[in-house]
Amino acid sequence: MDKHRLALTVLTLLPLVVACGTGAASDGSSGSASAGTGSASAGTGSVVRRTDPSSVTGVHWRVDSLSSGGTTRKAPDGAYLRIDDHGRAHGNYGCNSFGAAAAFRDGRIDFGPAEATDMACAKEPMAFESAFSRALAGRSLAAAVDHGRLTLTTENGDRVRLTREGDASLHGTRWRITALVDKDVASSLPAAAAGKAWFTLDRKAGTASGSLGCNRFTARATVRDRHLTLSSPRTTRKMCDGSLMSVERNLTERLARPLSYRLTHRGITLTSENGKGVQAAAER
């Protein structure tokens, strides 16, 4: 089980410039949104209006894919970009989270140096992270927003495709457990358990149900004052391999305590008074 200390380190992110539709954009769109004009994207036939700050800021943009050099990479779960109304941007490259100053200027967005977590992940997410950061750093990207989708295009034709995504609800969401937390340390689940441990809360029934990695469970769930308390769970009686059973015992122990919860868009952290808990992500 890999353990990664979530210590912030300063990375240098060269200014990222996102073209906001002034003049002729690389996707062929032009015109002013305020004037109600626009032009069709080349080869698509859809009308893409000028992209202004209000159509980009305050939105959680899930990163879907990156196309570069004739190859399209699918983004790992959790990769995103968000720019707020106070000159700050934050996101996730595919493994590590980052934050930076952001300023709209002359139809562009200037990003300052970034602070990022320093975690090592599996080979595939790290490969995407490397390609994604290269596509953003020091580049001028044309930005096109159309029907809840954002496309960022570099001067050499590399494209990052993103989708507007709403916040997940505490209830009714299938929360996939991704890590075990011990104060400021998060430990990823073993590969054998990845994607197999999850839970969902039913507001009407007042229950929690899901999988502990091997066995399914149900329990009474009380949600009050941003705290979650589960009763002793009823579980199935399957036997799985040693790593899954170890994860299951660990999760059972952690979920048996009263837990405070913190929602962050499509993520949730459950933590007990002793600092132990779990992290989970909303499934798409």
State how far the Cα of 151 lies from the Cα of 156, in Å rounded to an integer. 14
Render pLDDT for 91-123 as a digit per residue (tens, 0 to 9). Answer: 888 888 878 777 776 666 776 777 778 877 888
Closest alpha carbon to 100 in 6, 12, 165: 12
Q: Above pLDDT 70, what percent of the chain? A: 79
Which residue type does 211 have? S
Rg (CA), the chain: 21
Task: Reply yes or no on whether the pLDDT at 214 is more than 50.
Answer: yes
Q: Give the DSSP letter of residue 175.
A: E
State how far the Cα of 269 lies from the Cα of 284, in Å rounded to an integer. 18
What is the DSSP track for 58-80? Answer: T--EEEEEEEETTEEEEPPTT-E
Output phi, psi for 47, to 5 deg.
-85, 125
> What integer pLDDT is reported at residue 11 of this predicted model?
38
Counting DSSP H helices and E strands in the chain, the numbers are 2, 24
Cα-Cα-Cα-Cα torsion 178, 266, 129, 106, nearest 10 degrees, comes to -170
Range ranked top by mean pLDDT from 81-90, 174-183, 221-230: 221-230
> What integer pLDDT is reported at residue 133 of this predicted model?
82
Average pLDDT over residues 157-185: 91
Sign of the CA dihedral running 53, 54, 59, 61: negative
Closest alpha carbon to 120 in 258, 272, 2, 249: 2
Q: Give the DSSP letter of residue 244.
A: H
Structure tokens belonging to residue 112: 């300052």
